[in-house]
Amino acid sequence: MAAYITHPALSSLSKINCNINAIYCFISFSRRISISSNVLSTSAVTTESEAAGRGVRGQRRSKRQAGEPRTERMTVDQDWTAVYPTAASFKPSTVPLPVRMGYPVKRGVPPAKKGNLELMKIPNFLHLTPVAIKKHCEALKQFCTEWPSALDSDEKCMKHFPIQVQSKEFVSAGLSLQNPDARIVTLKVKLSSLNLDDHARKKMIKLCEERYCKDTDTLTITTDSCPLRQQNYDYAMYLLTVLYHESWYIDWIVISF
Amino acid sequence: PCPAVSLRSALVLRGSYEAVLCEIKTLIVSQVSLAEEPDALYQKLTVRVKGHDRSVLDSYEFFVTLAAGELGLKLEKACEPPKHTDKLALLKSVHIFKKHHVQYETRTHQRRIEVSRVTGSSARVYLEYIQRNLPEGVAMEVIKTSAEKIPEHIHTPLWDECRRQR
């Protein structure tokens, strides 16, 4: 591995090529030439011995030269969605941008894109350019349906569809893909939208205890006792049904509310 | 009625990107069918994303808002709740030196995107598209609030006048 070494005092003089592994050494001018000759001779010796070794083994593997990067042949008006159709890591020879990323060592500049690990580590959105997003959405639009135009406001929604069912879905990577909170179902309904008379309404509020909110006139039923979301939803609807019919029934002891 | 086709079955991976897109379109047109059951109605769809890198979440928010606009969904708000920081103080040395600690912190940034008044099939399409393009190291939580009618058995009470009082 070659490293360029410059002594600040000798910056006007030529640089030294040394085959030392990433060790920065400050060499005086008098010793420079002798060391360089020494190093060159040793490096020459090593290459010769390596070549001899390879020759003794038999096959000589010629190292394939890397061709010019693909960015040289790219035009300005190319189809970028063909270069990055799906999520892929950052390839410096494929992205024609002069991107730099990393910490500027010794008041220098951030390192260039070639062989840059920081650029490869971070998730890139090169496959999700606005053009690509528009193409995807155009293909997906056929599966979408329109919201009914008659239900433009929240009041109309609440009037025709008074029951609100809330559930959660989770997407994350970890030891397990499942999240136990995904089975919880919350059912909210306004008592004014149910068919209740005076006695039934008071009995319903008495039965619900803390699940009823007086300010918003909302009954909230949260179910998490079943393992599946569908089961919890069915249980919540069952609870609502039971509450409703029980509140209409007048007990043989007439309790005054 | 809602179209009952999954995107996964329509994807065919061969040839160039343009050829693939044309093939998908022809496949989709022939495979889209309407189911008998009525479409679900979601009054609000809240997407919460959490990650350690703020710039990644910035790009993802741009993608999500553009996708919602392109698919014709009404975007209510796209805000950034304050980040959550977990701090940890550990001993610097392996043995003794209690006076010297090192402090670590884990920052979790989040975004909140709300889409209002979506149908069930549109929500399914949008969420699948969003979730397939979720970047690495980002977690998502979707809160669906669906609006439903009162079921048939709750319209009138079970008991009539004479049966109600024993």
Q: Is B14 exposed, middle or buried (0-12, 13-18, 19+ CB in 10 A)?
A: exposed
Structure tokens at A248: 């209409």
Q: Is the pLDDT of residue B90 over 90?
A: yes
* Residue type present at position B49: V
Q: Of B39, B121, B136, which is closest to A123 when you measure between CB atoms? A: B136
Q: What pLDDT is attached to residue A64? A: 86
Q: Is B61 within a domain? A: yes
Q: Is B1 within a domain? A: no
Q: What pLDDT is attached to residue B8? A: 47
Contact A140 B24 (CB under 8 A): no
User: Which domain covers residue B40, as residue numbers?
Assistant: 13-165
Assess contact for A204 and A196: CB atoms under 8 A.
yes
Q: Is B130 exposed, middle or buried (0-12, 13-18, 19+ CB in 10 A)?
A: buried
For residue A168, which of A182, A154, A180 has the smallest C-alpha distance?
A182
Task: Tell me the CATH number at B59.
Answer: 3.30.70.600
Stronger pLDDT, B85 or A199, i.e. the higher one: B85
Structure tokens at A120: 């490869």
> Which residues of chain A, if any, have pLDDT below 70?
1-59, 252-257
Distance of CA B15 to the CA centre of its chain: 31
| Pairwise CA distance, residues B46 & B81, whole Å | 13
Q: Is B62 within a domain? A: yes
Q: Is B6 within a domain? A: no
| DSSP codes of every residue in B13-77 | --S-HHHHHHHHHHHHHHH--B-SSPPPEEEEEEEEEEES-HHHHHHHHHHHHHHHHHTT-EEEE
Average pLDDT value over all residues in chain B: 84
Q: Is B5 within a domain? A: no
Assess contact for B140 and B47: CB atoms under 8 A.
yes
* Residue type present at position B27: L
| Pairwise CA distance, residues A192 & A72, whole Å | 70
| Pairwise CA distance, residues A232 & A226, whole Å | 5
pTM of the model: 0.75
Q: What pLDDT is attached to residue A1? A: 40
Task: Determine the number of helices (DSSP H) and then strands (DSSP E) in chain A.
Answer: 7, 6
Q: Is B45 within a domain? A: yes
Residues 106-125 of A with CB under 8 A from B: 122-123, 125
Domain count, chain B: 1
* Chain A: closest CA distance from residue B42 (Å): 9
Question: Most A CBs within 10 Å: which of B12, B33, B158, as the mutation test of the A interface?
Answer: B158
| Model confidence pLDDT, tens digit, residues A39-68 | 444 444 444 455 555 555 556 778 888 888
Q: Is B146 within a domain? A: yes
Contact B140 A171 (CB under 8 A): yes
Q: Is B3 within a domain? A: no
Q: Is the pLDDT of residue B27 over 90?
A: no
A-chain CB neighbours of B145 within 8 Å are: 164-166
* Chain A: closest CA distance from residue B154 (Å): 6
Q: What pLDDT is attached to residue A179? A: 92
Helix axes A130-140, B120-132, angle to 10 degrees: 140
For residue B114, which of B76, B142, B67, B69 has the smallest C-alpha distance?
B76
| Model confidence pLDDT, tens digit, residues B46-68 | 999 999 999 999 999 999 999 99
Give the β-pairing of A212-213 and A185-190: unpaired
3-state secondary structure of A8: helix
Tell me how far CA of residue A225 lies from CA of A143, A166, A176, A218, A236, in angstroms.
Answer: 35, 16, 21, 22, 10
